Structure 1
Amino acid sequence: MAQTMQRPFVGGAAAFVPGGPQAPSMPQLPPPPPFFTNTDYEWGPPQMLFPVDYHPAPQNFFPRAGGNGLLPPTGPASGVNSVPFRTYGRKQQASVFEPGVIIAVPYHTIDFLQPPDRPTRDESLSRLGWVHTKERRVVVIDCYNDHCVGIPMATHSHTGLMNQRKSKGEWIGVRDVADPDIKTSDSAHGNIVATRESRFAIPANPQNSWWFKNTSYAHFSCPVSFVYDRGCNVCPCVARRTLSRDESIVLES
């Protein structure tokens, strides 16, 4: 009886004879790279499709957290100790928010123009780039079902509007009624005066009996929104010159 030849089965990464030694396993494909958009990943090789304006970071671009593609467990290194992720503030009832109430929230902006090797603890890496986060107070000007709209405050490193010549007309001063020496505003729009309210009872610092300095200004041309189901801190004062829908300089601008 003639012997039949078994033809090798050709396929996969190597050829093997049925019943012979175990064939080597197929190599595992690497995980999809960032910006991977190939929906046929199971049926073809990975394709790296990048946005037009995407520029891969140089190999030595590692001083900043996330520069090597990994998200660190703590914030980027800086002049102070890095801090782990934490939830900011406390969730408040929707009834707390009304025009004039001042809240403190994490305020996110585009990355400050700082060198890559000088990160700050307020920088974080998102999938769309670097984000600068800072605790900032916001004056609520209007409220809706699930969110409110407010204008953020800043002191510009306690310089006020000294270096804001181009945008000086976009700010309005915020002063605390407990300040014994309220200065006039450097803005043509004057000041918002905030007064304490017992419903927001927080012990005052005996060394500093007011919350807003003469360099505090609200950026009314840059309104922001805040969703009620996020954490925030409520300042124990209310802006008595309420920026309501009818009289808001935000809506008049």
Structure 2
Amino acid sequence: MKRPDLPPSPRRSWSTPLLLAALLALIVASFATLRLDLAAFFTPEAVGTTSEFLGGFAPPETAAPFLRKTLDAALETLSMSALGTLLAALAGLVLALPAAGRWGGPPRAAVRIVLNVLRSIPELVWAALLLVAAGLGPFAGTLALAAHTAGVLGRLFADALENAEPQPEAALRANGAPALTAFFYATLPQSLPQMLSYMLYRWENNIRAAAVLGVVGAGGLGQMLKYHLSLFQMQSAATVVLAMLLLVALVDAISYALRRVLTR
């Protein structure tokens, strides 16, 4: 009996092993070029200096006037992160539509370049630039968060819109619905839970970023921390650090609960 012809074996691809080998070589080269002296952290002198430095933070400052001042700064940091994330979500959605190839407008590649520029500049650099124009305070910090996060959310929103199923919108368009109506009733509901999840995750990150932005004079807890550290008021700085940790934990818990509700 004649044996049926077997299908040809697939050609072996070397792209994945070559990529892994290149990454491994890059990691090895990174460790070879960086002079990491990990043993220096565990010398008696380093341990003693670190213990003395950390001991200066105890006990944290608990005077009522200072706690009220810290609470005001924490609320300012929270407001900066929330408003910055909201402005970034609105700007990101506006930029995501042409970036996803929706409704003509600016060239898709040009909008993608704008998003790359926005998110490639760190929040601290944005804050340093905006402090020149807006002056010291939370306004510059809020705009810095919004500028960087708009680039991140715009890219994520564009990807979510591109991954949405096109058939529902095409069916509405075939039945005479306008393009905007078809988008709001067919494509946006598919992408909205994912987009909201992205926005909440960036809010968590912006809480941390807002606390750091104060170091350059953008207000909030970061500005308090820089002030007290520069004066070597370690106990007051410890209270500010604890307020940062509590604020981040609170926002993480709220964001986690909201994401759970959205994914049900």
TM-score normalised over the length of structure 2: 0.20
Larger radius of gyration: 1
Answer 1 or 2: which has greater helix percent: 2
Higher relative contact order (CA 8 A, sep 6+): 2
Answer 1 or 2: which has greater strand percent: 1
